[in-house]
Amino acid sequence: MTGHIVVGVDESAPATAAVEWAAADAQRRGLSLRIVHVCEQWSYGGDMAA
């Protein structure tokens, strides 16, 4: 089988569990694993385009 599994992570415990599950599943299925880190977009006020 070809392809990959993608899992999104942040700094939470459920995300860590998701990576562990996805890694085991990818290994079992012979697929590559792509881990995508996500974070909340911060607004510091003001218009960045100005």
Query: Which tens digits make up the pLDDT trace of 1-37?
Result: 679 999 999 989 999 999 999 999 999 999 999 999 9
Q: Are 14 and 42 in contact (CB under 8 A)?
A: no
pLDDT of residue 42: 78
Which structural domain range is residue 27 located in?
A: 4-35
Q: Is residue 44 part of a domain?
A: no
- Residue linked to tokens 């911060």: 42
Q: Is residue 50 part of a domain?
A: no
The rounded distance, in Å, linking the Cα atoms of 42 and 40 is: 6
What is the value of pTM for the model shown? 0.70
Q: Is residue 18 part of a domain?
A: yes
Q: Is residue 19 part of a domain?
A: yes
Per-residue 3-state assignment (H helix, E strand, C coil) for the chain: CCCEEEEEECCCHHHHHHHHHHHHHHHHHCCEEEEEECCCCCCCCCCCCC
Q: Are 4 and 29 in contact (CB under 8 A)?
A: no
- Which has more confidence, 50 or 46? 46
Q: Is residue 22 part of a domain?
A: yes
